[in-house]
């Protein structure tokens, strides 16, 4: 199991478009991938857009990403990359 | 009843939230949200499997529709907005949701409609609790998807509306896909009963630059298609059945605003002057008729890039010369004295054109742009005839997309010359047309000095340039970390191309995303660019930044960047230098973020 803390860096948060990118990415891996609120109050399957949207993660929110499976490291790397670049929405 | 045809109904006013400014007088076009009434029915055990099948068929049909809408939205609203439909597709494809619906059908022996509605409502109720306004508004996406499945279950197909010139769209709340299905190029304004600042209606109206108001409560119950209506989002007011006096007052106000706006607007010049007096031309990139208004509104110096393939939005249908002539004449009129640069069709590759082209294994490196036009001569000849004829109405230039080297240019120029000769002998009225080359592939960068000798101007397409120089497909998430506009190899390519243009004494226009982004625009100016073309709405922002800098500072920063080995190094120089020199122009968020672990 691999676990990492990520931050939602784009201003608009995990809205539909960003969530779509996240879910498409998560689905490329065999491992199970979950996103959780830091306080543990909500946990979402990162492969389901409805779950991800339910996290209601606005800009600035911190989340825990957890992957488990044979390609767990790659999955986490890909996901944290997306968070890092604000889903391509950081105003450059 | 008799009075209905003779007396005009009395004026009625509504107040709401203005989400996009403007004042228009038009006629109502009611767009129904299509709320549908769904009733529960108990089905026989033996019918459960059939009911599940019915649900799956409806879901697949909805999926096919969404794929088509997504393509259309990419053309009409730009790929940014089309992404939203990717989210819709994912919702439809969501395995858990489908499972839950199918379980509900099985366990409750419910009809498919009822199961979809119950589970949809359950999702929506969770959404309604979300505190963040922007995210809460996304509930409308779920509603949209549910509605689409219910529609498919009912066996109905959605109707597409053609708008009149003066249509004011009035709806309870526009669902995102309805917005994509409408021909918004002709919409004058959008007003809805529900919605907030960040609703789709608001975002899209601002993008199109048309007035919009939301939160009008019960306007829909009173407005009928064809009714006269005034939308004044400066005052936050909608007037239904306006009196003659009200209409006159509005026309006077519109007149006053347009005359007060244009000549007096300091931004209207289309030229940004840096603090040390360097002039930078600010032109507009345009593809949609809906964007045309922005050219004047944002004070662009004509059109630096007209993406003509938009005209071919219907797959596989080539446009007649007459239709093209008409379209280019409009573009010429719109661009005014500064003129417009028409990029010949960039077809092939991933850009659509569909049935004309067989699929290729590697479309970005395939038969696209000028290669496609050279291979399909009739396409090129028809297009240049239309452009040369339209150029008699106003200033138009041609730019050849994706040339590899001098030979592509020479072949295209030969065909253009032949067509000109034919038209001249037929005594057609023609205008002078300059011919330029898009420099966007490495071979063109490396031979730019030679290409510069055979064309009248250069145009640097930075989007494709970054993709080809770095060999990174920008639509591929897996390699997103390698797509770096500020890579030293990209900057060097831009610098060489601009130098080649200067040496040959021809102009070079830089178009593409880089010019639209203030921090990048400064680097472009530092590399010697004095002619930029961008999305019209970004012109004021980029102008403001350029007017706040000394170009000599930009030159020295750019020179330092050219010495770097990696994009990370360039970005860190940009971050440090910009924040030190121009902290008021570049708050940290506007600068490239520091990358970790790549």
SS3 readout for B315-346: CCCCCCHHHHHHHHHHHHHHHHHHCEEEECCC
Q: Supply the DSSP string of B567-596, one letter for each residue.
A: HHHHHHHHHHHHHHH-TTT--GGGSPPPP-
Does A51 touch chain B if contact means CB atoms closer than 8 Å? yes
How many whole angstroms separate alpha carbon B140 and alpha carbon B405? 50
Q: How many CB pairs under 8 A join A and B?
A: 97
Q: In this complex, do A49 and B87 lie within 8 Å of one another by their Cβ atoms?
A: yes
Of B303, B420, B408, B328, nearest to B319 by C-alpha is: B328
Under 8 Å between Cβ of B383 and B344: yes
Supply the Cα-derived Rg of chain A in whole angstroms: 12
Residues of chain A in contact with residue B513, where contact means CB-CB under 8 angstroms, are: none
User: Residue length, chain B?
Assistant: 598
Q: With contacts defined as CB-CB under 8 Å, which chain B residues touch A17?
A: 80, 83-84, 86-87
Sheet containing A43-45: give its strands across: A2-7, A62-68, A32-37, A43-45
CA distance B439 to B282: 19
Residues B207 and B81: beta-carbon distance below 8 Å: yes
Paired tokens of B263: 């000549």
What does the pLDDT look like over A65-78, one tens digit per residue?
Answer: 999 999 999 999 99
Per-residue pLDDT at B33: 62
Residues of B in contact with A88 (CB under 8 A): 480
**Predicted pLDDT at B59:** 93
B141 touches chain A (CB under 8 A): yes
pLDDT at B543: 92
Residue contact B87–A19, C-beta within 8 A: yes
Radius of gyration of chain B (CA): 27
Beta carbons of B168 and B17 less than 8 angstroms apart: no
Contact A50 B84 (CB under 8 A): no
pLDDT per residue, tens digit, chain A (92 aa), is 999 999 988 777 887 778 888 999 999 999 999 999 888 888 899 998 888 888 888 888 899 999 999 999 999 999 999 998 888 766 44
With a CB cutoff of 8 Å and minimum separation 6, the contacts of B66 are: B85, B88, B89, B92, B148, B177
Chain-centroid distance of CA B500 in Å reads 32
pTM reported for the whole predicted model: 0.53
Closest approach of B439 to chain A, Cα-based (Å): 24
Two structure tokens written together for A32: 């199970």
Percent of chain A whose predicted confidence (pLDDT) is above 90 = 46
Beta-strand relationship, B23-31 and B189-192:
unpaired
What's the CA gap between B158 and B96, in Å, rounded?
A: 27
The first and second tokens of residue B329, run together, are 């004449």
CA distance B320 to chain A (A): 37
**C-beta of residue A78 within 8 angstroms of C-beta of residue A29:** yes
B511 is catalytic: yes
Nearest-angstrom CA–CA distance, B592 and B598: 15
A9, A15, A37, A64: which is the annotated catalytic residue? A15
Is there a contact between B334 and B354 (Cβ–Cβ < 8 Å)? Answer: no
Contacts A48 to B, Cβ<8 Å: 94-97
Choose, out of B90, B128, B199, the residue to mutate when testing the contact with A (most A CBs < 10 Å).
B90
Q: Return the SS3 of B162.
A: coil
pLDDT along chain B (598 residues), means of 10: 55 87 85 69 89 93 85 66 80 88 93 91 81 72 85 69 70 73 72 75 72 87 85 90 90 74 52 93 84 81 90 68 92 90 81 49 84 90 96 95 96 96 93 96 97 97 92 74 90 97 96 86 96 88 91 96 95 92 81 65
Contact B542, B510 (CB under 8 A): no
- How many whole angstroms separate alpha carbon B366 and alpha carbon B347? 11
């Amino acid at each position: 199991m691999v676990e990492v803390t990520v931050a939602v860096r784009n201003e608009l948060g995990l809205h539909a478009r960003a969530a779509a990118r996240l879910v498409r990415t998560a689905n490329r891996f065999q491992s199970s991938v979950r996103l959780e609120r830091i306080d543990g109050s909500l946990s979402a399957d990162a492969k389901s857009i409805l779950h991800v949207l339910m996290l209601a993660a606005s800009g600035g929110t911190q989340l825990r990403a957890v992957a488990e499976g044979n390609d767990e490291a790659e999955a986490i790397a890909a996901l944290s990359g997306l968070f890092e670049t604000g889903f391509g929405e950081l105003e450059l | 009843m008799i009075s209905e045809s003779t007396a005009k109904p009395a004026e009625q006013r509504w107040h709401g939230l203005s989400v996009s400014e403007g004042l228009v007088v038009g006629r109502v076009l009611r767009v129904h949200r299509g709320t549908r009434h769904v009733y529960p029915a108990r089905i026989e055990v033996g019918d459960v499997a059939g009911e599940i099948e019915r649900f799956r068929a409806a879901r697949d049909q909805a999926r096919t529709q969404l794929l088509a809408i997504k393509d259309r939205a990419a053309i009409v609203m730009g790929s940014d907005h089309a992404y939203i439909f990717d989210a819709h597709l994912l919702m439809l494809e969501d395995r858990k949701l489908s499972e839950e619906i199918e379980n509900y059908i099985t366990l409750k022996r419910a009809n498919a409609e009822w199961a979809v509605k119950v589970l949809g409502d359950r999702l929506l109720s969770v959404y309604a609790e979300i505190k963040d306004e922007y995210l809460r508004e996304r509930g409308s996406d779920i509603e949209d998807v549910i509605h689409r499945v219910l529609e498919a279950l009912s066996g109905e197909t959605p109707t597409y509306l053609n708008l009149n010139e003066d249509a004011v769209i009035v709806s309870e709340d526009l669902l995102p896909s309805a917005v994509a299905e409408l021909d918004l190029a002709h919409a004058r304004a959008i007003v809805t009963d529900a919605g907030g600042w960040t609703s789709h209606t608001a975002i899209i109206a601002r993008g199109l630059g048309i007035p919009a108001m939301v939160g009008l409560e019960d306007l829909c119950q009173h407005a009928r298609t064809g009714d006269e209506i005034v939308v004044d989002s400066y005052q936050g007011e909608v007037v239904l059945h306006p009196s003659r006096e009200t209409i006159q007052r509005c026309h006077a106000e519109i007149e006053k605003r347009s005359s007060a706006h244009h000549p007096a607007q300091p931004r209207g010049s289309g030229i940004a002057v840096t603090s040390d007096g360097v002039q930078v031309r600010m032109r507009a990139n345009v593809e949609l008729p809906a964007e045309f208004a922005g050219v004047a509104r944002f004070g662009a110096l004509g059109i630096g890039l007209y993406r003509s393939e938009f005209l071919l939005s219907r797959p596989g249908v080539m446009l007649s010369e007459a239709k093209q002539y008409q379209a280019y004449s409009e573009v010429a009129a719109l661009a005014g004295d500064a003129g417009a640069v028409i990029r010949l069709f960039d077809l092939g590759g991933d850009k659509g054109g569909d049935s004309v082209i067989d699929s290729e294994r590697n479309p970005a490196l395939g038969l696209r742009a000028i290669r496609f036009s050279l291979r399909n001569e009739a396409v090129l000849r028809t297009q240049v005839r239309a452009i040369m004829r339209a150029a008699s109405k106003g200033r138009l230039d041609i730019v050849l997309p994706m040339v590899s080297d001098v030979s592509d240019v020479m072949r295209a120029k030969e065909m253009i010359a032949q067509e000109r000769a034919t038209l001249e002998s037929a005594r057609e009225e023609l205008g002078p047309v300059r011919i330029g080359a898009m420099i966007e592939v490495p071979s063109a960068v490396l031979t730019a000095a030679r290409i510069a000798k055979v064309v009248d101007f250069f145009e640097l397409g930075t989007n494709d340039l970054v993709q080809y120089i770095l060999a990174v497909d920008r639509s591929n998430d897996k390699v997103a970390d390698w797509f770096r506009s500020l890579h030293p190899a990209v900057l060097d390519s831009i610098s060489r191309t601009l130098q080649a243009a200067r040496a040959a004494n021809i102009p070079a226009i830089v178009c593409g995303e880089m010019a639209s982004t203030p921090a990048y625009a400064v680097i472009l100016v530092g590399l010697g660019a004095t002619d930029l073309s961008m999305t019209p709405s970004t012109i004021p922002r980029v102008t403001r930044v350029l007017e706040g800098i000394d170009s000599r500072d930009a030159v020295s920063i750019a020179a330092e960047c050219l010495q770097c080995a990696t994009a990370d190094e360039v970005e860190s120089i940009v971050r440090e230098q910009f924040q030190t020199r121009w902290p008021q122009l570049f708050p940290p968020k506007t600068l490239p973020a520091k990358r970790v672990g790549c």
